[in-house]
Chains A and B, each alone.
Chain A
Amino acid sequence: MTDVYVDLLYVLSAVLFVLSLKFMSDVRTSRAGNFCGVAGMIVAIAATLLAYQTQNVELLVGAVIIGAVIGSPIGLKVAMTAVPQRTAMSHAFGSLAVALVGAAEYYRSAPAIDAFTLSVLSGEMVLGFLTFTGSTIAFAKLQGLISGKPLLYRGRMYVSMGTLAVAVAASVYLVANPAQSAALLVLAGAALVFGFLLVIAIGGADMPTVIAILNSFAGISAAALGFVLDNRLLIVAGTLDGSSGLILGIIMSRAMNRSFTNILFGGVGAATTSTAGAANKTAQVYTAEDVATILRDARSVIIAPGYGMAVAQAQHAVKELADALQARGIDVKYAIHPVAGRMPGHMNVLLAEAQVPYDQLWEMDRINPIFPGTDVSIVVGANDVTNPAARTRADSPLYGMPILDVDKARTVVFIKRSLGPGFSGVDNDLFYLPNTMMVLGDAKKVLTDLLAAMRNLRD
């Protein structure tokens, strides 16, 4: 097969990848989008196999079989609550693949590599290796294998930046002395250590943004590999992936009113802020029966779910409550904060799995104007994203963070295990508002009791 045909097939593949993302703009076309992605991948691989006859057929087939054997169960079986950690793992795999191909390309061509190509190659390997260890740590934190608390110590910035400087210095040395393959090992080692140091110092609550940033790194390193190998399809695919990670990261950091620098280097989440001032305020605690009475007279209800709902496995109970309310002609909507869940868009997936229709899922900007005319808002497993202190108290660590305006509904029902503070360690002013009804207990149990109480009221 001639090169022209291969290039044309690569163009076709790139078009299919672009269409794939285009179709993700609407839920109704999204599955077609995924099929376009699959088709683009098949075209790309077929074209490559036709153009380059592999010397090592056994090695290739063996590697593909290993990949399929590991990949299929992950794709088919992973729980929706565990998708964030599988995403972190996929970034680790993808970036390591790219870094290893970069290293292979070096060992194949060195020292006959021009300075520009070698510098891109070095940068690509640094990014690839640091994303690999960084994503592996993110995986371990999300999976609960290691503590979600940031590991902070005096002078950590110097240690981290020093490690990065070693990686950069090794890259520069390698570009100047392409035959010195030992520099490649130093580069790889330092980049691996830097990725570890970077993410180990970031708190578990910031993992949604970190995943998105690492996504971006993985994509950019793939695009850089495309430059090294002069493979334009890889440039396009890597850049699309990099753009996606970048934009999702921006959305997440804005939703927390934080900068990338603050998230990556701020070490936020270690402090356990005192809840001073909470002592002289009293929250009004109610029972499920009290809430059932309020709901009987409601005409509109908004449910604000957080990751605590998924921890309590209460998605289906929430859905049952929503169904029961709708059966009485009550309008039900769900308010989704951008950082609800543990990765971008995670809450939508958790609710979709519980068969909540997606047209009931309202994003923050659209639903906030609706709260003032709503009878009851029900907060389940969310906390910081509903704290009015983010609007009103300039001294609060949450100040400036966009929140769900649940407090503007006529009555707020707040279901919570205890009166303790949220992820950020900040006390929630919402607990003490006159229109807030606190219901303490496990979310699933409270919701089940609430459903039972509603049935009793009707009889």
Chain B
Amino acid sequence: MTAISSSDLVTNLLIFLLASVLGQELIRHVSRLLHTPLMALTNAISSVSFIAALIVLAEPGPETVSLLAAVAVALAATNIVSGFLLTDRILRMFRRRKEEK
């Protein structure tokens, strides 16, 4: 995992570029009403860095490595749990006008 071949790098760059373009398009179309929950949601999603900590934790290494990764797991888990819960809590508050009006 330490040495990345050039073809892997090119593929990763391509993924990065496509994800950027897709991200711009997706975010531009997000309802303006929902920018606050959007921030909570994307923050939770990017805390998928949780899995990076898992991978580092899985492979044998010095104590320092495990400790750093474990702290990262706790931080990412906090964001995942609070981010998704908060997003849902905010989204549930948005209601349309009652139909009788």
Task: Name A's B-contacting residues (CB within 8 A).
Answer: 13, 17-18, 20-22, 24-27, 30-31, 33-34, 37-38, 40-41, 44-45, 47-49, 52-56, 59-60, 62-64, 66-68, 70-72, 74-76, 78, 80, 83, 86-87, 90-91, 93-94, 96-98, 100-101, 103-105, 107-109, 112-114, 116-117, 211-212, 215, 218-219, 222-223, 225-227, 229-245, 247-248, 251, 326, 338, 343-346, 348-349, 352-353, 355, 357-361, 363
> Given contacts A97-B47, A232-B15, A247-B24, is CB(A67)–CB(B37) below 8 Å?
no
Q: List 23 A-B contacts (CB under 8 A).
A: A18-B22, A21-B23, A21-B26, A27-B33, A31-B91, A41-B48, A47-B51, A56-B57, A60-B54, A71-B85, A109-B1, A114-B3, A117-B3, A211-B39, A219-B42, A230-B1, A230-B8, A232-B11, A237-B45, A247-B28, A345-B37, A352-B33, A361-B33
Are A240 and B45 in contact (CB-based, < 8 A)? Answer: yes
Are A25 and B31 in contact (CB-based, < 8 A)? Answer: yes
Nearest neighbor of B59 in chain A, beta-carbon distance: A108
Q: Nearest Cβ distance between residue B6 and chain A, in whole angstroms?
A: 9
In the assembly, what is the distance between CA of A17 and CA of B43, in Å? 12
> Given contacts A101-B53, A357-B97, is CB(A237)–CB(B46) below 8 Å?
yes
Nearest neighbor of A52 in chain B, beta-carbon distance: B58
The residues of B that contact A44 with a CB separation of less than 8 Å are 48, 50-51
Are A66 and B74 in contact (CB-based, < 8 A)? Answer: yes
Are B73 and A60 in contact (CB-based, < 8 A)? Answer: yes
Are B62 and A25 in contact (CB-based, < 8 A)? Answer: no
The residues of A that contact B64 with a CB separation of less than 8 Å are 104, 107
Interface of A is mostly: helix
Interface of B is mostly: helix
In the assembly, what is the distance between CA of A101 and CA of B9, in Å? 20
Task: Name B's A-contacting residues (CB within 8 A).
Answer: 1-4, 8-9, 11-12, 15-16, 19-20, 22-24, 26-62, 64-66, 68-98, 101
Nearest neighbor of A348 in chain B, beta-carbon distance: B33
Are B72 and A235 in contact (CB-based, < 8 A)? Answer: no
The residues of A that contact B19 with a CB separation of less than 8 Å are 223, 235-236, 239-240, 243
The residues of A that contact B3 with a CB separation of less than 8 Å are 112, 114, 117
> Given contacts A243-B27, A358-B95, is CB(A114)–CB(B75) below 8 Å?
no
